């Protein structure tokens, strides 16, 4: 606060500055016609072209340009119309809305959406060109190409004998504002010519209708402005002044008006502010000596347009307002259309100035201004609400911003992003992501977006996080993330973020939502997908917004359920039954699967998406017994329900069996074979070693069999172990045969040959007083035969071994 007057005697003023654009009036230059300055629709304001137009002159190609300065829009504004004396209308016409324009050429109406919305109280240069040879209709706004459109008028021509400005088919389509430089050419102007016209670098006159030829005026005001002043759009500072306010209220008020407290960083600036206050309010003695000064000089020049949100108005002219101030206590908001917001008997009122009816009164609020999110008492129906209190928003924020309760602005993506950005924390209130229609039934599946008769596609995504196979139980235990993605065209989504983690639905919304149910078929128990506390449903943003929600007092973006998807995600731990064929164990390749079936409805309604469904694995592929291959999906058509199998290929890691079965048994076989090289005379050593080998192999056989499922067929490991036992048994037989051939003799007193031989080698010297029967000495012929038998056994065992292994391993390799 500054100044020398005492507070009780002074009226303290708050100065708010806003950067405005306006054309400066001059003494000479381009003629400007002003229509309906009082903003009241009438059929009497018009201007007729003085030049001569003949019906015989027919235009196939054309360019229509004009510079407009809107005051208001009654419905839409027709700024020019060509007619015939026979009553034929809409031969050439230019119609204006805020978000679109409509050039009418040879009675062909063509809407063109604008990339940037038009403003009131601001000059805009519009051009429409049609090239009959290329059949291209082009629209230019302020010298920039808005869009091209391929249009064929089928050899229709423009032929008129009169042109009128400011009137359409009826008075509600009449023009309210300033007009200048309306020209028509019989050719399409080039983009550079249009740019020069828009930038006031040229004042080219039309060769069909020329602005400078003149106009016959009816209830229209005419004045002249230098051409350069029209395009200069001087950016001056406009000040709003208010009576005594606290600093916080002043700060709110200036921000809510889309302006700032003016900076006062030096004595000169402060004196300048005082001078401005004194010149505007000379009848106050000390008011200009005390006023608030803002901390900076930031100017928001695009915040001059206010939006009245939550009124369900479809036309932008009934949504947009401009702030005006006639004196320091009379602030009003003038709508682009029929509405005003102003004080009536010290109460803010929303008024329809056309019907002269009050729609709503502002309820008591602090501060007592309508900017921001406020409660209003309805006097007329709004959004099908006949009476009562309704919350509405008067916002200074431009498109792409969210308005906080106190009328400050934050970027729209910052709303509902799990952190506070508004000073009053209102950006994290009412963050509803799903808008349910009336009559939504969660037990009914949505229909397909493409066709009502087609089935709805469900995208299945499986991410395997861990996997274990229990061979003896023939079970595969899987921990995995299962995701189901679908579209629900009955829904609308609100304020979706690009980051899907910010679009997670709360539990109460999940309970109201239809979700697909999938059964797990090949499980031990009956299992299916669940929607519980461990489940998560998010909305994936796949497309841009389709517009704003008109019935809520906030900038709520709407997104279509036809394009944007829902994804349900949950982690499961499931034991799937596997049918393992162990014939080739331990060199077997298995194939387990996870069998899923949609149980919510038949495949005529719900169907797994064969193009988008996928399976991935993040688990360790090297298990204790198996190596996991690439997972794939296999779809089934046999059932009336849509089914899919996640195929899990498993290749046995045979290293364990080789090290613990094949290698030890091979060593034992070698030991058994080596016994054939022990001297035949010591038969006990040969027999003991061979029997020990056979016992060890039999024990190993028993252990291996116990670690595998019981089957009615032989496994390859069984064949190997049986072969090992057999070959050791044959070796034992060979030992007996060799001993019998080389040392045997006819039996005496019932004794066998090998017993005599054993006695001969074991009893040693004869004990005195006793006698022993002496073994008969080997017959030389037997020794020769015995040596041949020994040699034969040494050859036969390897031959049998080689033959078996050739067949054994050959069969395994062939599989």
pLDDT tens column, 502-536: 999 999 999 999 999 999 999 988 899 999 999 99
The predicted structure's pLDDT at residue 739: 83
Residues 481 and 619 occupy one common structural domain = yes
Integer-rounded Cα Rg, in Å, for the chain is 49
Query: What pLDDT shows up at residue 271?
Result: 64
467 and 513 assigned to the same domain: yes
Coil, strand or helix: which one is 267? helix
Q: Is residue 451 part of a domain?
A: no
Q: Residue 206 has what DSSP assignment? A: P
757: Cβ–Cβ under 8 A, 6 or more apart, which residues?
A: 683, 739, 743, 744, 775
- pLDDT tens per residue, range 669-722: 898 888 888 888 888 888 888 899 889 988 888 888 888 888 888 889 889 889
Closest CA to 463 of 476, 485, 479, 480: 480
CA triple 18-19-20, angle to 5 deg: 110
Residue 60 lies in a domain: yes
pLDDT per position as a tens digit, 724-748: 998 889 888 888 888 888 776 544 4
Query: With bands split at pLDDT 50, 70 and 90, how would you rate the model's confidence at 655?
Result: confident
Whether 493 and 630 map to the same domain: the answer is yes
Residue 473 covered by a domain: yes
Say if residues 523 and 555 touch (Cβ distance below 8 Å): no
Q: 779 pLDDT exceeds 80?
A: no
Residues 406 and 479 in one domain: no
User: What is the rounded distance in angstroms from the CA atom of residue 689 to the CA atom of residue 676?
Assistant: 10
pLDDT at 711: 83
- The more confidently predicted of residues 607 and 235 is 607
HSE of 308, CA atoms in CB hemisphere, 13 A: 31
| Total count of residues recorded for the chain | 815
In a domain, 518, yes or no: yes
Is the per-residue pLDDT at 621 higher than 50? yes
The verdict on 641 and 660 lying in the same domain is no
Q: Is residue 646 pLDDT above 80, yes or no?
A: yes
List the structure tokens of 232: 């200069």
Residue 770 lies in a domain: no
In terms of domains, do 564 and 647 share one? Answer: yes
pLDDT tier, 227 (very low <50, low <70, confident <90, very high otherwise): confident
Residue 283 vs residues 81, 271, 275, 280, 618: alpha-carbon distances, Å: 50, 19, 14, 9, 81
End-to-end CA distance of the chain: 96
Q: Order of strands across the sheet with 234-242?
A: 234-242, 13-22, 291-292
User: CATH number of the domain that 750 lies in?
Assistant: 1.20.58.390
Do 321 and 470 fall into the same domain?
no
Q: What are the pLDDT digits (tens) for 329-369?
A: 678 899 999 999 999 988 999 999 989 999 999 999 888 89
- How much of the chain exceeds pLDDT 90, in percent? 56
On whether residue 350 sits in a domain, the answer given is yes
Instruction: State the Cα–Cα distance between residues 521 and 183, nearest whole angstrom.
Output: 76
pLDDT value at residue 753:
42
Q: Where are the alpha helices (DSSP H) in 547-609?
A: none
Contact (Cβ atoms closer than 8 angstroms) between residue 33 and residue 221: yes
b/e code 736-747 from CB counts within 10 Å (16+ = b): ebbbbbbbbbee
Pick the more confident residue, 21 or 214: 214
Decide which of 232, 255, 275 is a domain's last residue. Answer: 232
Do 374 and 404 share a domain, yes or no? yes
- Residue 29: predicted pLDDT: 83
Residue 75, Cβ density class (10 Å: 0-12 exposed, 13-18 middle, ≥19 buried): middle
The pLDDT score that the predictor gives to residue 380 is 92
Predicted confidence (pLDDT) per residue in 316-328, tens digit: 999 999 988 776 6
Q: Are 494 and 557 in contact (CB under 8 A)?
A: yes
- Residue 68 to residue 170: CA distance in whole angstroms: 20
3-class secondary structure, 736: helix
Count of domains in the chain?
Answer: 5
Q: Write the CATH number for 648.
A: 2.70.170.10
Q: 450 lies in a domain?
A: no
d(C-alpha 608, C-alpha 600), whole Å? 12
Residue tagged 């058509």 (tokens): 637
Is pLDDT of 246 > 60?
Answer: yes
* Strand, helix or coil for residue 767: coil
What is the predicted pLDDT for the residue at 436? 95
366 and 263, same domain (yes or no): no
Q: How confident is the model at residue 407 (pLDDT cuts 50, 70, 90)?
A: very high
287 secondary structure, DSSP code: G
Q: What is the pLDDT of residues 128-146, one digit of tens each?
A: 999 999 999 999 999 999 9
Please indicate, yes or no, whether residues 567 and 699 belong to a single structural domain of this protein.
no
pLDDT of residue 773: 39
The pLDDT, as a whole number, for residue 748 is 44
Q: What is the DSSP string of 665-687?
A: HHHHHHHHHHGGGS-TT-HHHHH
Q: How confident is the model at residue 592 (pLDDT cuts 50, 70, 90)?
A: very high
Q: Is there a single domain that holds both residue 29 and residue 140?
A: yes
Pairing between β-strand 456-470 and β-strand 475-486 as defined by DSSP bridges: antiparallel
Range of 249's domain? 243-292
Structure tokens at 248: 């916080």
Q: Is residue 757 predicted with pLDDT exceeding 70?
A: no
- Which range is least confidently modeled, 7-16, 213-222, 447-456, 470-479? 7-16
Do 186 and 158 meet the contact criterion of CB atoms below 8 Å apart? no
Q: What CATH number has the domain bearing residue 163?
A: 2.60.120.200
Q: What share of the chain is helix, strand, coil (3-state, %, to 5)?
A: 25, 35, 45
Residues 548 and 502 in one domain: yes
| The pLDDT value given to residue 331 | 86
Residue 782 confidence (pLDDT) above 60? yes
Mean pLDDT of 149-176: 90
Query: Which of 35, 48, 47 is closest to 161 using CA atoms?
Result: 48
Cβ-based neighbours of 588, under 8 Å, separated by 6 or more: 580, 581, 582, 652
pLDDT range class, residue 442, cuts 50, 70, 90 = very high
The per-residue pLDDT of the chain, averaged, comes to 85
- Of 64, 87, 95, 89, residue with least CA distance to 174: 95
pLDDT at 491: 95
- Does residue 256 surpass a pLDDT of 80? no
**Predicted local confidence at residue 216, as pLDDT:** 96
Q: Measuring CA to CA, which residue among 602, 23, 462, 118 is closest to residue 316? A: 118
Residues 196-218 have pLDDT tens digits of 999 999 999 999 999 999 999 99
Q: Which of 403, 435, 467 marks a domain boundary? A: 435
Region 455-466: what's the mean pLDDT? 96
Q: Which of 400, 435, 470 is the last residue of a domain?
A: 435
* Structure-model confidence comparison of residues 680 and 430, the more confident one: 430
Please indicate, yes or no, if residue 258 is contained in any of the structural domains: yes
Name the DSSP letter for residue 661.
I
Higher pLDDT, 774 or 581: 581
Structure tokens, 38: 């009082």
């Amino acid at each position: 606060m500054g100044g020398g007057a005492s507070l009780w005697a002074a009226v303290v003023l708050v100065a708010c500055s806003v950067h405005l654009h306006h054309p400066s009036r001059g003494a000479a230059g381009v003629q400007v016609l002003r229509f309906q300055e009082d903003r009241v629709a009438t059929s009497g304001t018009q201007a007729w072209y003085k030049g001569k137009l003949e019906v015989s002159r027919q235009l196939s190609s054309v360019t229509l340009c004009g510079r407009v300065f809107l005051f208001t829009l009654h419905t839409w504004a027709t700024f020019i119309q060509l007619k015939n004396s026979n009553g034929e209308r809409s031969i050439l016409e230019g119609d204006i809305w805020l978000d679109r324009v409509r050039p009418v050429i040879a009675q062909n109406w063509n809407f063109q959406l604008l990339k940037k919305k038009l403003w009131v109280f601001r000059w805009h240069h519009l051009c429409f060109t049609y090239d009959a040879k290329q059949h291209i209709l082009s629209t230019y706004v302020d010298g920039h190409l808005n869009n091209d459109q391929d249009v064929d008028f089928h050899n229709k021509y423009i032929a008129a004998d009169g042109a009128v400005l400011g009137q359409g088919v009826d008075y509600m389509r009449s023009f309210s504002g300033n007009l200048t430089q309306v020209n028509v050419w019989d050719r399409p102007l080039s983009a550079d010519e249009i740019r020069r016209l828009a930038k006031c670098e040229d004042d080219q006159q039309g060769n069909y209708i020329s602005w400078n030829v003149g106009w016959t005026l009816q209830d229209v005001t005419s004045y002249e402005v230098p051409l350069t002043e029209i395009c200069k759009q001087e950016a001056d500072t406009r000040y709003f002044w208010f009576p005594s306010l606290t600093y916080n209220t002043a700060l709110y008020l200036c921000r809510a008006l889309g302006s700032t407290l003016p900076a006062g960083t030096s004595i000169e600036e402060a004196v300048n502010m005082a001078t401005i206050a004194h010149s505007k309010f000379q009848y106050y003695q000390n008011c200009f000596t005390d006023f608030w000064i803002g901390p900076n000089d930031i100017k928001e020049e695009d915040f001059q347009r206010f939006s009245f949100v939550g009124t369900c108005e479809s036309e932008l002219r009934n949504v947009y307002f401009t702030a005006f101030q006639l004196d320091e206590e009379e602030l009003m908001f003038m709508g682009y259309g029929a509405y005003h917001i102003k004080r009536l008997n010290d109460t803010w009122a929303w008024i329809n100035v056309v019907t002269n009816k009050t729609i709503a009164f502002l309820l008591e609020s602090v501060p007592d201004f309508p900017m921001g999110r406020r409660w209003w008492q309805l006097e007329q129906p709004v959004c099908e609400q006949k009476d009562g209190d309704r919350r509405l928003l008067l916002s200074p924020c431009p498109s792409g911003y969210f308005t906080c309760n106190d009328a400050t602005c934050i970027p729209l993506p910052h709303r509902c992003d799990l952190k506070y950005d508004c000073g009053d924390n209102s950006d994290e209130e009412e963050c509803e992501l799903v808008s349910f229609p009336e009559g939504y039934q969660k037990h009914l599946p949505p229909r397909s977006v493409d066709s009502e008769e087609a089935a709805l596609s469900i995208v299945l995504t499986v991410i395997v996080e861990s996997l274990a196979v229990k061979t003896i139980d023939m079970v595969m235990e899987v921990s995995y993330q299962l995701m189901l993605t679908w579209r629900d065209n009955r829904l609308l989504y609100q304020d979706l973020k690009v980051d899907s983690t910010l679009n997670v639905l709360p539990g109460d919304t999940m309970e109201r939502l239809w979700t697909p149910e999938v059964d797990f078929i090949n499980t031990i128990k009956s299992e299916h997908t669940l929607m519980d506390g461990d489940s998560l449903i998010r909305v994936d943003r796949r497309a841009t917004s389709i517009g704003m929600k008109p019935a809520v007092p906030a900038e709520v973006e709407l997104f279509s359920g036809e394009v944007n998807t829902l994804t349900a995600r949950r982690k499961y731990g499931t034991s799937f039954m596997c049918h393992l064929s162990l014939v080739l164990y331990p060199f077997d390749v298995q194939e387990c699967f996870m069998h899923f079936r949609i149980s919510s409805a038949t495949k005529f309604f719900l169907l797994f998406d064969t193009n988008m469904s996928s399976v991935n694995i993040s688990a360790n592929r090297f298990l204790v017994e198996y190596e996991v291959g690439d997972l794939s999906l296999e779809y089934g058509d046999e059932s009336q329900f849509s089914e899919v199998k996640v195929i899990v290929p498993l290749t046995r890691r045979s290293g364990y069996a080789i090290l613990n079965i094949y290698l030890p048994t091979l060593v034992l076989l070698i030991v058994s074979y080596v016994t054939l090289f022990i001297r035949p005379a010591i038969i006990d050593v040969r027999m003991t070693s061979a029997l020990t080998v056979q016992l060890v192999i039999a024990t190993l056989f028993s252990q291996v069999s116990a670690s595998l499922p019981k089957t009615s067929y032989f496994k390859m490991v069984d064949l190997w172990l049986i072969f090992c036992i057999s070959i050791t048994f044959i070796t034992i037989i060979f030992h007996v045969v060799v001993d019998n051939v080389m040392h045997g003799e006819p039996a005496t007193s019932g004794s066998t040959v090998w017993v005599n031989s054993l006695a001969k080698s074991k009893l040693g010297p004869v004990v005195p007083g006793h006698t022993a029967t002496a073994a008969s000495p080997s017959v030389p012929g037997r020794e020769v035969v015995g040596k041949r038998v020994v040699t034969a056994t040494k050859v036969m065992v390897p031959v049998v071994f080689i033959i078996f292994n050739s067949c054994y391993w050959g069969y395994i390799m062939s599989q």
